[in-house]
Amino acid sequence: MQRRSFLSALASTLALTGLPIAAQNSQGKRIIVVGAGLAGLSASYLLERLGFEVVLLEATQRVGGRVRTLDGIKGRPEGGANVLGPNYGRAIAYAKALGLTLRPPSRSAASGLLIDSTYIPAADWATSAKNRLPSHLKRWMPDQARTLMLPKALVGSSDWLSAQQQQWDYSALRYFQEQGAKPEAIDWFARNNSYGNSLADTSLLNLMRVSESIQTAIAMRQPTLVVADGNSRLPEAIARALISKIVFDAPVQTYRATRTQVTVITSGGVEFSADAALFAIPLTTLRQIEFQPQLPVQMRELMNRTPYHKVLQSHWTLRRDTTGAMPDLVWTNGPLGRLFFSKIDANSVHINAWINGDDVDYWRGLDRRQQRQTLEQALVQIPAASGELSHDVEMDWALEPYQQGVWATWLPGDIKHIPKVSQAQDRAFFAGEHTGVSYSGMEGALESAERAVLQITRALS
């Protein structure tokens, strides 16, 4: 029943947009979808429901891309996408329709900060001598203060792309300097910043976009959500619902188009032909594909210069009795980034040191012994955080060959060009998180799939 109602809701959405359901013209038409992340999976699912034949090619041996539950590690921490916003209509609808359970995550508020290696409990932060935030923002964590200092100019989720808002598309570093923030505060705003590898390379407008979308989610007064047993269960469930089989180990290297058909060739030399191709992959790997005919020069230039954000997660297990108090989240201005703690069982705690941007380079330069020492020295400062440490795994997203980063971080001044990367080029179509308009992250990937499916259906009808 749930699944039928999801499909009929989807059908009415598509009908509203003028798309004929199971369009007659789709019958017998074949679409190659490149990439089995959420965007490619959802696009394949929708295309199949509309009567297209789909060939889904995936470079690796698994679906989900940047959604990646670390199933081999006790407590199944997330190595990729963490939480679904309460405003993620598409992701929530898929989860419900496919029989998955959603629940609020166990993580909550910050328990403290490690500033220059000194621990300050969150409750003491506002009055701490080390607090260099602007006086009216002292009670906030540095990330929250950064957000509260942003201009409140955006009206609605797609306004960040409108012409009048492009005046804000300049370096966030310049903005905070002009606001008179102290150098220490600016340094904290640069650390643990998810939207640029440095603050100079972070677009103020992009920060405003993220803040607007978080405010919208907060206004719903509903908790964020995770998928029970791990977020990877969501892409896996969509994959199981597909009619066609996914072709794994098929990294696409070449695209050729004639007037009537397209051919893609994998690195192993296997060729697939179809009426159109949808590339649901990050810009970092899209730019490695040889296109014949070439993509337009402006699109290529944007694709080539757009950095992807560096995130390195160092996952550890701390063995200790967990019946008493336990830290939750500790914000640091040091090499450990943010430390996320979560209870695994009565004797063990999972620690994820989440390092962002250029700070990743420093951590990479340490060997495992130095990394352990750095973490041990930090844990000694944090109440209820000592115990026997063992290293689980490192997720260094910039080194993942088919992502090369966690998401696109548009350089200041580039936001007005973003629509170019979702423009169809004859029989080549584009989707993925980086082409999301009203949403980013997982919901942005799903949103982009709908837009691309509409473009394909219109173009091939």
Ligand X SMILES: Cc1cc2nc3c(=O)[nH]c(=O)nc-3n(C[C@H](O)[C@H](O)[C@H](O)COP(=O)(O)OP(=O)(O)OC[C@H]3O[C@@H](n4cnc5c(N)ncnc54)[C@H](O)[C@@H]3O)c2cc1C
Comparing CB distances to ligand X, the nearer of 34 and 205 is: 34
Comparing CB distances to ligand X, the nearer of 223 and 387 is: 223
| Euclidean distance between CA atoms 255 and 436, whole angstroms | 23
Please report how close the Cβ of residue 225 comes to ligand X at its closest, in angstroms: 10
DSSP three-state, residue 352: strand
Residues that bind ligand X (CB under 6 A): 34-40, 57-60, 65-67, 80-83, 251-252, 280-282, 285, 311, 397, 402-403, 406-407, 432-433, 441-445
Please report how close the Cβ of residue 446 comes to ligand X at its closest, in angstroms: 8
Comparing CB distances to ligand X, the nearer of 33 and 120 is: 33
| Euclidean distance between CA atoms 411 and 196, whole angstroms | 8
| Euclidean distance between CA atoms 13 and 46, whole angstroms | 12
Please report how close the Cβ of residue 265 comes to ligand X at its closest, in angstroms: 11
Instruction: Report the DSSP pairing between strands 30-34 and 276-279.
Output: parallel
Please report how close the Cβ of residue 341 comes to ligand X at its closest, in angstroms: 17
Please report how close the Cβ of residue 144 comes to ligand X at its closest, in angstroms: 17
CA distances in angstroms from 158 to 161, 168, 169, 277, listed in the order given: 6, 15, 15, 27
Please report how close the Cβ of residue 232 comes to ligand X at its closest, in angstroms: 10
For residue 231, the number of C-alpha atoms closer than 13 Å in the C-beta half-sphere is: 27
Comparing CB distances to ligand X, the nearer of 34 and 137 is: 34
Query: Degrees (nearest 5) of the Cα angle 304, 309, 310?
Result: 120
Comparing CB distances to ligand X, the nearer of 175 and 255 is: 255
Please report how close the Cβ of residue 428 comes to ligand X at its closest, in angstroms: 13
Give the CB-nearest residue to ligand X: 37
Residue-by-residue DSSP string for 363-407: HHTS-HHHHHHHHHHHHHHSTT--SEEEEEEEEEGGG-TTTSSSS
Q: Using an 8 Å Cβ cutoff, are 245 and 53 in contact?
A: no
Comparing CB distances to ligand X, the nearer of 108 and 118 is: 108
Residue-by-residue DSSP string for 63-129: S-TT--B-TTSTT--BSS---B-TT-HHHHHHHHHTT--EE--S--S--EEEETTEEEEHHHHTT-T
Residues 6 or more apart in contact with residue 49 via CB below 8 angstroms: 7, 10, 22
Please report how close the Cβ of residue 231 comes to ligand X at its closest, in angstroms: 8
Helices (H), 242-338: 283-286, 297-305
Please report how close the Cβ of residue 433 comes to ligand X at its closest, in angstroms: 3
Q: Is the peptide bond before 282 cis (omega within 30 degrees of 0)?
A: no
The DSSP code for 249 is: S
Phi and psi at residue 166, in whole multiples of 5°? -65, -15
| Euclidean distance between CA atoms 236 and 95, whole angstroms | 11
Amino acid at 296: P
Please report how close the Cβ of residue 268 comes to ligand X at its closest, in angstroms: 11
| Euclidean distance between CA atoms 192 and 151, whole angstroms | 20
Comparing CB distances to ligand X, the nearer of 39 and 173 is: 39
Comparing CB distances to ligand X, the nearer of 84 and 190 is: 84
Comparing CB distances to ligand X, the nearer of 443 and 450 is: 443
Please report how close the Cβ of residue 66 comes to ligand X at its closest, in angstroms: 3
Comparing CB distances to ligand X, the nearer of 115 and 212 is: 212
Comparing CB distances to ligand X, the nearer of 22 and 220 is: 220
- The maximal CA–CA distance of the chain, rounded, in angstroms, is 70
| DSSP-assigned beta bridge partners for residue 343 | 349
